[in-house]
Amino acid sequence: MGWKKAGFGRTKDGKEAFLYTITNSSGMQMQVSDFGATLVSVIVRDKTGRKIDVVQGYEDVQGYEEDTVFMGAIVGRCANRIGGASFELNGQLYELSRNDGNNCLHSGRDFYKGRIWNVEKVGEEEVRFFLSSPHMDQGFPGDVDIYVTYKLTEDGEVQIIYEASPGEDTVINMTNHSYFNLDGHDAGSVLEQKAWIDADKYMRNDEGSVPTGEVLSVAGTPLDFRTAKPLGRDIESSHEALKIGAGYDVNYVINGSGYREAASIESEKSGIKMSVFTDYPGVQLYTANFLAGEKGKDGAAYERRSSVCFEAQYAPDAVHHGNFESPVWKKGEMYCKRTGYRFSIVG
C-alpha cells in the first residue's frame, strides 16, 4: 500500500511528464500521468492470482502525444460530439473546431489530453490533478478551474471524481476514455466478454453519429444488454446503430439516479469482472471499432475490437436537445461528477 512517482519522458517541447503509481493493500495498482491526467494502467489479479494490466495505453509520454484515439484520456470541456461544431448560449453563438466531419468531437483539436496538468495532491489512495481552462478555451465561454481526482479504494474501485467551477455560464461534460480488456491489454478481441447495461433506452444517431433527439427502446434490438451477453453476439447485425458506428458506439440512458451501478463486463477466461458506477445520466458503449494497430505498451499492437470503453457522461450533443439532461452550468455553480470502475473475481 502506498504511492510512488517516476519519470514518464519528455514532450516534444521539452516538458517533463511524470507517472504516479498507487497500490492498495491487496496489491491492486493504478497508474496515472500528469500528461492529460491520463489513466495509464490498472493492474488486477485474475482468478489464478496472476497480475493483469486491463487498460490499453502507451509506454511513455511520447505515445500519448501521438495518440489519436484518446487512450485513457480525460475528455473535456465537452465530451463526445456537438453537431455543427457550434452552439448558442444566452443568445450568443459559439463556434468550435470541426474535427469530425462537420461536427466537433471531444471539444476540438486543442484537447485536454495533450496538456500537462498540475498535481494538487498525491497520497496513499489518490492523485488530484488541476487544470485552468481560460475563457474561450477550445471556443467555450468562461474560465473554468477543473480538478480530476483518481482514487484507488480498498475494495478494488478506481474512482474518477470531476470537479469544476465556471466563471460564467458554460458547457461542461467530462469523461474518461479508457479502453479495457479484462484478459489483458494485449490479449486481442473482447467480443467474447459479457456486458450488461442497466438501460431501457438509447439515443438514436444520424449518419454522422450525432443524436437526432430521438430516445428509443432497446427492447427487441441488438442494443439490449439488460441481460448480460457477449459483446460480439449481435455486433454484426444490420441494425442502423451498428452500421453507423461500425459496431457499438451508442449512448445509453442509464436507469435510476445518483451513484449507481450502470454497467458491467466480465471475462470467463480471466474471471475478472468490472462494474461501472456513475452519477451521470448516460454511458457511451464503444467497442474500439476504429483501432488499427496502435502501438501500445509492451510491444502490443491494438487492433479493432481489442477493447471496450464505457464513457459515463451527459448525452452527446445535449446542448442542442431540450429533452436531454443539460450540460450547461451556471456561473459559480459547482460541477461535481463521479465514475468508478470496480474490479472483482467471478470465476
Q: Tell me which of 157, 266, 311, 321 is the catalytic residue.
A: 311
Distances (CA, A) of 24 to 50, 125, 216, 254: 16, 7, 42, 30
Q: Tell me which of 106, 126, 177, 185 is the catalytic residue.
A: 177
Set of cell numbers at residue 278: 456513475
Farthest CA pair distance, the chain: 59
| Residue 163 near residue 76 (C-beta atoms within 8 A) | no
- Scanning the structure block, which residue is given the C-alpha cell 474560465? 143
Give residue 342's Cα distance to chain centre: 15
> Using CA atoms, how far apart are residues 199 and 262, in angstroms rounded to an integer?
8
Reply yes or no on whether 320 is catalytic. Answer: no
> Using CA atoms, how far apart are residues 44 and 59, in angstroms rounded to an integer?
19
Phi, psi of 177 (to 5 degrees): -115, 45
> Using CA atoms, how far apart are residues 331 and 49, in angstroms rounded to an integer?
49
| Residue 201 near residue 252 (C-beta atoms within 8 A) | yes
Burial class (CB in 10 A: 0-12, 13-18, 19+), 140: buried
Give residue 168's Cα distance to chain centre: 26
Can you spell out the DSSP letters for 273-324? EEEEEESSSEEEEE--TT---EE-GGG-EE-TTS-BEEEEESPTTGGG-TTS
Give residue 9's Cα distance to chain centre: 24
| Residue 248 near residue 265 (C-beta atoms within 8 A) | no
| Residue 70 near residue 290 (C-beta atoms within 8 A) | no
Reply yes or no on whether 311 is catalytic. Answer: yes
> Using CA atoms, how far apart are residues 284 and 210, in angstroms rounded to an integer?
12
Catalytically annotated residues: 177, 311
